[in-house]
Chain A
Amino acid sequence: MTNAPITPEPAIRVRAIEKSYKELRVLRGVDFDVEPGTIFALLGSNGAGKTTMVKILSTLLSPDAGSASVNGFDVAAHAERVRESISLTGQFAAVDEILSGRENLVLVARLRHLKDPGQAADDLLARFNLSEAASRKVSAYSGGMRRRLDIAMSLIGQPEVIFLDEPTTGLDPEARIEVWQVIQELAKRGTTVLLTTQYLDEAEQLADRIAILHQGRIIANGTLAELKQLLPPAKVEYVEKQPTLEDIFLALVGNEGKVASSKEQS
């Protein structure tokens, strides 16, 4: 084998990561790779350790054992380089309530040491449909707007890798679809996305690869098609296709662009 295929360095590499909180062993040897420019979903129920994994990768927690690297940098040895490569959108929209939307973006742009923080903020406000609300205090924003702003803040400085920890938890269906569109657009531009979710349909819609984290270990990891093969072949059954409540809700609320795009995806 002289011509072995050249595999690109993974954007995220996780090897035998363990982490305990006192007695509780949250991660018990986790391994996975994420290829650059792909969307990787870490699926698991509440308390499965998804957030802990994301915190380790974003240098907020150090693992008890094992190693991890992001964008080629080891999270323990080169935490600073990792932080330059990533952006974290946590479980709760981490926005400053007292500042306006624009001020939030400028704040992050300044902390990322960009040359023109104002321009970066205005570009993202336009891209996320927030220009009109730019000067309003974030405490007056809706949940969806807050989440959009939160994600916009994560895009400042164009990090190579983005962690999204349960990005759609607590959002209404329309806002959820908006967030999905943003995530898909990110991957199209070449950003690597690691997303955690407890919603199966979210992983199914978005992810190139899905890993299931259960009791501190990855118990399955593959594309949707590969995961489907883990079960016995599909049976053919005839079922009347009823609209889902989501279809009905979106049709009645009537935001046409969004309904169309949700159908595209499903």
Chain B
Amino acid sequence: MSTHFFGDTAVLLGRSMRHIFRSADTIITTAITPIALMLLFVYVFGGAIKTGTENYVNYLLPGIMLIAIASGIAYTAVRLFTDMKSGIFERFHSMPIARSSVLWAHVLTSMVANGISLVIIVLVALLMGFRTSASLLSWLAIIGILALFTLALTWLAIIAGLTAKSVDGAGGFSYPLIFLPFISSAFVPTATMPGPVRAFAENQPVTSIVNTIQDLYEQRPIGSDIWVALAWCLGILVLAYFFAVAAFRRKIS
């Protein structure tokens, strides 16, 4: 069964990567909305926002990247849902392949596609004045956290793709996730928010991730935020993976 796992996953990954490159709009839309938000916040609202930092592009880039990931994984749910509806999922499952490679191919595709749109976003941010003195090690840590966050949300998307009743449902689940960075430290410091909102903002996963990434590329000492961020990502990942596999089992039993 597992003897073909890597080969089969690679073949299916090649298939979904073709989907992505042939409908380039999926990458462009996942990158363009966050870029538009970045332009809006930097050049329209930015002048009025006091973050205590000189470079607002630096301040908001992590939040923008998280928004990009949250909207990018919606496409993963839609692609999986489309496979289920079109019958190609059943075709794969009636073939002598490693069955889990069907899901893993979608997961890896999500990682690659989100990676590409994040690179585009960082390049635009550089043009807008993003500057960092981060070391290679810090960059590796940033990439690691973003990859972990993407992986966790991708497994959430797999649940949505497997259980949705309609294509809108499959894609729509990500809206609350896209919204989460707005109620965090991503755009304005949480200190300005009224009590209950501030309490929510300071204790939801996005804030700790945003703070960690900011600390890493500003070369500031990293506080406990990184552990909170890792705990959130791993917690979401384990739970989402567990429910996704359960949903998958139900589909194929």
**Which A residues lie at the B interface, using CB under 8 A?**
55, 58-62, 80, 83-84, 86-88, 90-99, 103, 107-108, 110-113, 153
Given contacts A90-B91, A94-B88, 8 further A-B contacts (CB under 8 A): A58-B90, A62-B253, A88-B94, A98-B18, A98-B22, A99-B18, A107-B15, A111-B8
CB-based contact B11/A86 at 8 Å = no
Could you say which residues of chain B place their CB within 8 Å of the CB of A107?
11, 15
Inter-subunit contact B18/A111 (CB<8 Å): no
Measuring CB to CB, which residues of chain B are less than 8 angstroms from any residue of chain A? 1, 4, 7-8, 11-12, 15, 18-19, 22-23, 86-88, 90-97, 252-253
- Knowing A80-B96, A110-B11, A111-B97 are in contact, say whether A96-B253 is a contact too (CB < 8 A): no
Least CB distance from B100 to A in Å reads 13
The answer to whether B94 and A86 touch across the interface, beta carbons within 8 angstroms, is yes
Contact of A91 among B7, B87, B94, B253 (CB under 8 A): B87
9 A-B interface contacts by CB (under 8 A): A80-B96, A87-B94, A88-B94, A95-B86, A96-B86, A96-B88, A98-B18, A110-B11, A111-B95
Could you tell me the distance between the alpha carbons of A108 and B15 in the complex, rounded to whole angstroms?
Answer: 11
Contacts A62-B253, A107-B11, A112-B96; A153 near B91 (Cβ below 8 A) = yes
CB distance A80 to B95 under 8 Å?
A: no
A83 engages B15 (CB within 8 Å): no
Q: Tell me what chain A mostly uses at the interface: helix, strand, loop, or mixed.
A: loop
User: In the bound complex, what is the Cα–Cα distance between A143 and B223 (angstroms)?
Assistant: 61
Please report the C-alpha to C-alpha distance between residue A59 and residue B93 in the assembled complex, in whole angstroms.
8
B4: chain A residues within 8 A (beta carbon): 113
The answer to whether B87 touches A90 (Cβ under 8 A) is yes
Which residues from B are CB-within-8-Å of A111? 8, 11-12, 92, 95, 97
A108 to B96, CA, bound (A): 11
Q: Which chain B residues lie closer than 8 Å to A110 at the CB level?
A: 11
B253 touches which of A61, A83, A88, A103 (Cβ 8 Å): A61
User: Shortest Cβ distance from A169 into chain B, in angstroms?
Assistant: 13
Residue of B nearest to A110 (CB): B11
Chain B interface mostly helix, strand, loop or mixed? helix
Considering the chains assembled together, what is the distance between the CA atoms of A83 and B4 in angstroms? 14
Interface centre among B8, B23, B94 (most CB of A within 10 A): B94
Greatest chain A CB density within 10 A among B11, B18, B88, B90 is at B88
The answer to whether B252 and A60 touch across the interface, beta carbons within 8 angstroms, is yes
**Beta-carbon contact of A58 and B94 below 8 Å:** yes
Is there contact, CB below 8 Å, between A60 and B94? yes
**In whole angstroms, how far apart are the Cα atoms of A99 and B252 in the complex?**
25
Closest 5 A/B residue pairs (Cβ): A94-B87, A88-B94, A94-B91, A58-B94, A83-B96
Q: A93-B87, A113-B4 are in contact. Are A84 and B94 (CB under 8 A)?
A: no
Partner of B88, one of A59, A84, A95: A95
**What residues of chain B lie closer than 8 Å to A91, measured between beta carbons?**
87
Residues of B within 8 A of A95 (CB): 86, 88
Shortest Cβ distance from B93 into A: residue: A60
A90→B93 CA distance, assembly (Å): 12
Residues B91 and A88 in contact, CB atoms below 8 Å apart: yes
Q: How far is the CA of A152 from the CA of B215 in the complex (A)?
A: 56
- Kindly report which residue of chain A lies nearest to residue B7, judged by CB atoms: A113
User: How near does chain A come to B250, taking the closest CB pair, in angstroms?
Assistant: 11
Most chain A CB within a 10 A radius of its CB, from B86, B87, B90, B95 = B95
A59 to B88, CA, bound (A): 15
Contacts of A87 in B (CB 8 A): 94-95
Contact residues in A for B88 (Cβ distance below 8 Å): 94-96
Q: How far is the CA of A60 from the CA of B93 in the complex (A)?
A: 7
Complex: A232 Cα to B90 Cα, angstroms: 43
CB <8 Å contact, B94 and A96:
no
The smallest C-beta distance from A76 to any residue of chain B, in angstroms, reads 11
Q: Which residues of A contact B96 (CB under 8 A)?
A: 80, 83-84, 112-113
CB B93 to nearest CB in A, in angstroms, measures 6
Measured between beta carbons, the chain B residues less than 8 angstroms from A92 are 86-87
In the complex, the answer to whether B1 meets A60 with C-beta atoms within 8 Å is: no
Q: Which residues in A have their C-beta under 8 angstroms from that of B8?
A: 111
Q: Shortest Cβ distance from B14 into chain A, in angstroms?
A: 8
Residues of A contacting B1 with CB < 8 Å? 80
Contact (A103, B18) CB under 8 Å given A80-B1, A92-B86, A94-B86:
yes
Please tell me if the beta carbons of B92 and A60 are within 8 angstroms of each other in the complex: no
Query: Residue among B15, B23, B97 with the most chain A CB within 10 A?
Result: B15
> Inside 8 A of A113's CB, which chain B residues have their CB?
4, 7, 96
Inter-chain contact A60/B90, CB cutoff 8 Å:
yes
